[in-house]
C-alpha cells in the first residue's frame, strides 16, 4: 500500500469528479452501462458520460421515484444501470422504489448519491444527506460503499461496476485530500490499513479518512501509535479487520460524515460486540441537522475534524 | 403452436377461457383463505386477450426469451389473476395454484419475480410498475428491438404520483412500445374511487399527458382485443387503455360491495359464485 508518510496531503478532486471520470471510462469498454439521471448530471458529473454516450443516457427530469423504477426495468433486461442524483433525493425520495423494485428482486442496479454529508456547505441541510448510509443499510442485498478520495473512488467505481447485485455509492461535493497513491489496492469488503499501530484503531470512511490520518499523526506526537483503517465498504463489512483491531489494539474510534447513530459506527460496533468486544467511541453528526455555511466551519462546528477524533481517542486511552 | 408464437383463440374461445380463469381465481383464493379475488376478476378479459388472443409474444418454455413482450402487473394485489393466466399459458402447472400464499410456495401474496417464471416485476407497493416498464422499453430502444411492454394499473393506483412521473417520461421520450392499461373497476380498499379521491376526468388526464388513449368496455372481449392490437401498433407515442370494468365481475354479491377488496370468499360463497359462473 503506497501511503503518504506525512499528513501534508495533496488536494485531489472531489469524489463526485472521480466518479464521473471513472464512469465515462467504464462506458468505453462496457456497452451495457446505461446512466439514468434526475436532472442533476452537471452536479453528479454523469454529464461526462452523457456527452460521450448520449444513446445510453436518460434524463428523466426531477422525479427520483420514476428514476429508480426505470433503473430496475433496465437491470431486469440485462443492462447495467447507474442511477445517480443527490444522495438525499435518490435515497429519500426513491426509497420505496429502491426497496420494492430493486432490493427485493435483487436487481443489478448501481445507485450513486452525490453531495453527501454536511461538507456540501452553503446549500444547507435540505441538500445534505446524513442518513443515506443508514437507508442503504436498510436494503437487504445492497453493497454500500463510501470512498475516501479521488484515486480510490476510481477503483471503487470499477469494482462496483464489476460486482453483481445492487449497490449504493456515496460521493461528495468538495475537493478532498489525496490519501492514496496513484494505483491503490481496492477490494470491496476489504478495509485498507493506511497506517499501522497497536495502541488504538481509528476506523473511518469518506472525508473522515484524511481526518483520521491527521488524528493518528497528532496522537503519535504523544507516543500513541494508532492504526488507521479506511472502511470504504460498509456492507459487506470487513469483520476480520474489525476483530483484529479489537483484539490487537483493544480500542476503536469510528468516524463518519453521517448521523452517528446509524452508519458505519453501528455496524463496526455490532461486529466488535459479537466477536471481540472492546472500548469504542464514535465521531459523527450527533442527532441533529446541520446548517448552511462554509464547509470547514461546518465540520468544525458539528464535530467532524481530526481534533474531534483525537479527543475521542484520548477518552479511551 | 411453434416456439414463440402466441396462442390465438377465437372470441368465443377467449370468453370460455375467461370463465375458466374466473373459476380458478375464486377457487385458489378460497383455498388460501385470503387474497384479492375481486381485484383479479375485473381484469380477466384484459389478461385473457393479452395471453390467449395473440397479442403478447411469449414462450413459457423460455421465460427469459429476449424477443418476448412484457406484461407487468403493477397492481400486484391482483396476483391471483396473474398466476392463473401464467399457469394456463404453460409457465407452470395449474396444480400449483392450490399452494397460493402458503409458506414455501412461489405463488406469494404479491408477485415475486425471483421465484416464479413469467413474472416480469416484483410488485405490491403501488405506483411502481409503469416506471419499471419504461426501463424495459428503454432497454429495447437501446437494442433496436421491438419488444412491447404492457403494464396493468389499478384505478386506485392512479393516486400514486409516480404513475404521473412515468407518464410524462414515456411521452417525452415517445416510448411507443409502452401500453398502460387502467383496470378501471371504480373501487379501492376503503370505498368507491370517486369518494376516496375523485381524480376525474381520467381519460382527459392521460390525453393531456400526451398518450394515445382509448376508452373501452373492459369486459367486451372483442373491444379489448381490438384496443390491445391498436395500442401495440401505435407509433410515435405511448398508449393508454382505460378499461371500464366491474370489480368482482361475474359474481353478483361481490360486484355489489367494495368491501370484498382483500377478502377471499368463504366455502359457501365460493359455491354461490361458481354457480353464478355456470360451473355447477
Q: What is the pLDDT of residues B26-45, one digit of tens each?
A: 999 999 999 999 999 999 99
- Using only the alpha carbons of chain B, give its radius of gyration: 17
Select the residue from B135, B175, B209 to test the A interface by mutation, using most A Cβ atoms within 10 A. B135
Q: Which residue has the cell 500513541?
A: A224
A106 neighbourhood in chain B, CB within 8 Å: 114
A55 neighbourhood in chain B, CB within 8 Å: 142
Q: Determine whether the interchain pair A70/B131 forms a contact, defined as Cβ–Cβ distance below 8 Å.
A: yes
CB B225 within 8 A of CB B49: yes
* Whether A158 contacts chain B with CB within 8 A: no
Select the residue from A77, A78, A95, A101 to test the B interface by mutation, using most B Cβ atoms within 10 A. A77
CA A56 to chain centre: 26
Distance CA B125, CA B107 (A): 17
Q: Determine whether the interchain pair B131/A97 forms a contact, defined as Cβ–Cβ distance below 8 Å.
A: yes
B69 min Cα distance to partner chain A (Å): 12
Distance CA A276, CA A284 (A): 23
Q: Quote the pLDDT of residue A285.
A: 98
User: Which phi and psi angles does B152 have, rounded to 5°?
Assistant: -95, 120
Question: pLDDT digit string (tens) for B136-167?
Answer: 999 999 999 999 999 999 999 999 999 999 99
Q: Determine whether the interchain pair B125/A99 forms a contact, defined as Cβ–Cβ distance below 8 Å.
A: yes
| Number of Cβ atoms within 10 Å of the Cβ of A286 | 11
3-state helix, strand, coil in chain B (%, to 5): 45, 10, 40
Taking alpha carbons only, the member of B143, B215, B135, B204 closest to residue B173 is: B135
Distance CA A116, CA A118 (A): 7
Terminal-to-terminal C-alpha distance of chain A: 28
Residue B4 has pLDDT above 60, yes or no: no
b/e per residue B46-68 (b: at least 16 CB within 10 A)? bbbbbbbbbbbbbbbeebeeeeb
Question: pLDDT digit string (tens) for B181-211?
Answer: 999 999 999 999 999 999 999 999 999 999 9
Q: Is the dihedral of CA B157, B159, B160, B166 positive or negative?
A: positive
- Using only the alpha carbons of chain A, give its radius of gyration: 19
A43 min Cα distance to partner chain B (Å): 21
Q: What is the DSSP string of B98-144?
A: GGTT-TT-S--SS--TTTSTT--S---STT-HHHHHHHHHHHHHHTT
Looking at chain A, which residue has its C-alpha nearest residue B168? A60
CB A175 within 8 A of CB A13: yes
- With helix as H, strand as E and coil as C, how does A293-316 read? CCHHHHHHHCCCCHHHHHHHHHHH
Looking at chain A, which residue has its C-alpha nearest residue B76? A100
* Whether A31 contacts chain B with CB within 8 A: no
Question: pLDDT digit string (tens) for B85-124?
Answer: 999 999 999 999 999 999 999 999 999 999 999 999 999 9
Q: Quote the pLDDT of residue B280.
A: 80
B11 min Cα distance to partner chain A (Å): 33
Question: pLDDT digit string (tens) for B52-71?
Answer: 999 999 999 999 999 999 99
B252 grid coordinates:
353478483
B168 neighbourhood in chain A, CB within 8 Å: 61, 63
B30 min Cα distance to partner chain A (Å): 27
User: What residues are paired with A82 via a beta bridge?
Assistant: A35, A110
B150 grid coordinates:
404492457
Looking at chain B, which residue has its C-alpha nearest residue A83? B135
Taking alpha carbons only, the member of A200, A197, A256 closest to residue A231 is: A256
Taking alpha carbons only, the member of A118, A154, A128 closest to residue A26 is: A154
B166 neighbourhood in chain A, CB within 8 Å: 66, 69
Distance CA A216, CA A36 (A): 40
CA angle, residues A30, A33, A37, in degrees to nearest 5: 150
Say whether the ipTM exceeds 0.90. yes
Nearest to A69 among B114, B124, B132 (CB): B132
pLDDT less than 50: residues of chain A = 1-5
CB B84 within 8 A of CB B18: no
A85 min Cα distance to partner chain B (Å): 16
Q: Quote the pLDDT of residue A49.
A: 98
Residue B7 has pLDDT above 90, yes or no: no
Looking at chain B, which residue has its C-alpha nearest residue A76? B136
Distance CA B241, CA B178 (A): 11
Looking at chain A, which residue has its C-alpha nearest residue B110? A100
Q: Determine whether the interchain pair B135/A72 forms a contact, defined as Cβ–Cβ distance below 8 Å.
A: yes
Q: Quote the pLDDT of residue A231.
A: 99
CB A245 within 8 A of CB A204: no
User: Which phi and psi angles does A11 have, rounded to 5°?
Assistant: -75, 130
Distance CA A35, CA A80 (A): 8
CB B9 within 8 A of CB B73: no
Q: Quote the pLDDT of residue A6.
A: 55
To the query of whether residue A214 is one of the catalytic residues in this protein, the response is: no
B81 grid coordinates:
389473476
Count how many residues are written for chain B: 280
Q: Which of A47, A64, A214, A256 is catalytic?
A: A64
Looking at chain B, which residue has its C-alpha nearest residue A81? B135
A95 neighbourhood in chain B, CB within 8 Å: none
pTM of the predicted structure, to 2 decimals: 0.96
* Whether A56 contacts chain B with CB within 8 A: yes
Distance CA A316, CA A265 (A): 16
User: Which phi and psi angles does A249 have, rounded to 5°?
Assistant: -115, -20
Q: Quote the pLDDT of residue A1.
A: 36
* Whether A100 contacts chain B with CB within 8 A: yes
Looking at chain A, which residue has its C-alpha nearest residue B69? A77
A209 min Cα distance to partner chain B (Å): 37
CB B177 within 8 A of CB B149: yes
Q: Quote the pLDDT of residue B124.
A: 97
Distances (CA, A) of A214 to A176, A207, A219, B230: 14, 12, 9, 67
Q: What are all long-range contacts of B268-271, with beta carbons under 8 Å and residues at least 24 apart?
A: B269/B30, B270/B26, B270/B27, B270/B30
CB B41 within 8 A of CB B22: yes
Q: What is the DSSP string of B7-47?
A: PB--HHHHHHHHHHHHHHHHHHHHHHT-S-HHHHHTTHHHH
Residues 6+ apart with CB under 8 A from A111: A68, A71, A83, A84, A90, A91, A98, A102, A136, A166, A167, A168, A169
Q: Tell me the residues of chain A between 235 and 264 that have a Cβ less than 8 Å away from chain B.
A: none
B114 min Cα distance to partner chain A (Å): 6
Distance CA B74, CA B149 (A): 12
Nearest to B139 among A79, A99, A104 (CB): A79
* Whether A104 contacts chain B with CB within 8 A: yes
Distance CA B57, CA B19 (A): 23
Amino acid at each position: 500500500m503506497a501511503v503518504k508518510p506525512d499528513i501534508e496531503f495533496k488536494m485531489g478532486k472531489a469524489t463526485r469528479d472521480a466518479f464521473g471520470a471513472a464512469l465515462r471510462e467504464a462506458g468505453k469498454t462496457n456497452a451495457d452501462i446505461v446512466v439514468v439521471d434526475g436532472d442533476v448530471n452537471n452536479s453528479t458529473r454523469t454529464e461526462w458520460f452523457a456527452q460521450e454516450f448520449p444513446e445510453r443516457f436518460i434524463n428523466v427530469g426531477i422525479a427520483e421515484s420514476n428514476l429508480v423504477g426505470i433503473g430496475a426495468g433496465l437491470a431486469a433486461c440485462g443492462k447495467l444501470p447507474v442511477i445517480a442524483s443527490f444522495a438525499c433525493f435518490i435515497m429519500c425520495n426513491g426509497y420505496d422504489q429502491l426497496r420494492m423494485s430493486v432490493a427485493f428482486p435483487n436487481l443489478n442496479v448501481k445507485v450513486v448519491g452525490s453531495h453527501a454529508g454536511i461538507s456540501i456547505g452553503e446549500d444547507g441541510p435540505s441538500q445534505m444527506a446524513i442518513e443515506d448510509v443508514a437507508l442503504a443499510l436498510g436494503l437487504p442485498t445492497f453493497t454500500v460503499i463510501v470512498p475516501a478520495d479521488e484515486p480510490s473512488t476510481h477503483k471503487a467505481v470499477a469494482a462496483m461496476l464489476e460486482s453483481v447485485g445492487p449497490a449504493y455509492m456515496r460521493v461528495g461535493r468538495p475537493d478532498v485530500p489525496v490519501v492514496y497513491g496513484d494505483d491503490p489496492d481496492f477490494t470491496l469488503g476489504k478495509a485498507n490499513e493506511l497506517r499501522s499501530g497497536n495502541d488504538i484503531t481509528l476506523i473511518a470512511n469518506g472525508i473522515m479518512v484524511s481526518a483520521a490520518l491527521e488524528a493518528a499523526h497528532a496522537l503519535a506526537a504523544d507516543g500513541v501509535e494508532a492504526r488507521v483503517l479506511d472502511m470504504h465498504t460498509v456492507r459487506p463489512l470487513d469483520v476480520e479487520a474489525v476483530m483484529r483491531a479489537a483484539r490487537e489494539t483493544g480500542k476503536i474510534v469510528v468516524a463518519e460524515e453521517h448521523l452517528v447513530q446509524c452508519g458505519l459506527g453501528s455496524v463496526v460496533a455490532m461486529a466488535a460486540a459479537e466477536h471481540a468486544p472492546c472500548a469504542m467511541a464514535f465521531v459523527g453528526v450527533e442527532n441533529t441537522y446541520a446548517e448552511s455555511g462554509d464547509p470547514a466551519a461546518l465540520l468544525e462546528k458539528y464535530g467532524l475534524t481530526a481534533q474531534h477524533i483525537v479527543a475521542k481517542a484520548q477518552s479511551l486511552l | 403452436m411453434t416456439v414463440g408464437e402466441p396462442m390465438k383463440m377465437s372470441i368465443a374461445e377467449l370468453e370460455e377461457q375467461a370463465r375458466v380463469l374466473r373459476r380458478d381465481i375464486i377457487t385458489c383464493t378460497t383455498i388460501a383463505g385470503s387474497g384479492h379475488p375481486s381485484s383479479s376478476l375485473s381484469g380477466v378479459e384484459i389478461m385473457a386477450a393479452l395471453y390467449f388472443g395473440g397479442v403478447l409474444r411469449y414462450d413459457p418454455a423460455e421465460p427469459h426469451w429476449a424477443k418476448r413482450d412484457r406484461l407487468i402487473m403493477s397492481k400486484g394485489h391482483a396476483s391471483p389473476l396473474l398466476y392463473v393466466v401464467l399457469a394456463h399459458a404453460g409457465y407452470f402447472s395449474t396444480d400449483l395454484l392450490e399452494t397460493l400464499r402458503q409458506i414455501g410456495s412461489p405463488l406469494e401474496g404479491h408477485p415475486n419475480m425471483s421465484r416464479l417464471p413469467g413474472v416480469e416485476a416484483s410488485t405490491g407497493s403501488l405506483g411502481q410498475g409503469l416506471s419499471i416498464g419504461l426501463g424495459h422499453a428503454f432497454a429495447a430502444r437501446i437494442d433496436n428491438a421491438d419488444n412491447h411492454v404492457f403494464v396493468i394499473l389499478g384505478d386506485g393506483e392512479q393516486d400514486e404520483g409516480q404513475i404521473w412521473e412515468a407518464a410524462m417520461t414515456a411521452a417525452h421520450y415517445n416510448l411507443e412500445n409502452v401500453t398502460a392499461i387502467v383496470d378501471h373497476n371504480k373501487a379501492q380498499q376503503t370505498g368507491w374511487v370517486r369518494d376516496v379521491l375523485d381524480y376525474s376526468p381520467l381519460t382527459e388526464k392521460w390525453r393531456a399527458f400526451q398518450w394515445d388513449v382509448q376508452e373501452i368496455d373492459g369486459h367486451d372481449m372483442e373491444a379489448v382485443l381490438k384496443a390491445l392490437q391498436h395500442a401495440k401498433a401505435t407509433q410515435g407515442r405511448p398508449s393508454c387503455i382505460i378499461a371500464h370494468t366491474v370489480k368482482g365481475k361475474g359474481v353478483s354479491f361481490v360486484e355489489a360491495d367494495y368491501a370484498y377488496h382483500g377478502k377471499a370468499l368463504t366455502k359457501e360463497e365460493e359455491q354461490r359464485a361458481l354457480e353464478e359462473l355456470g360451473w355447477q
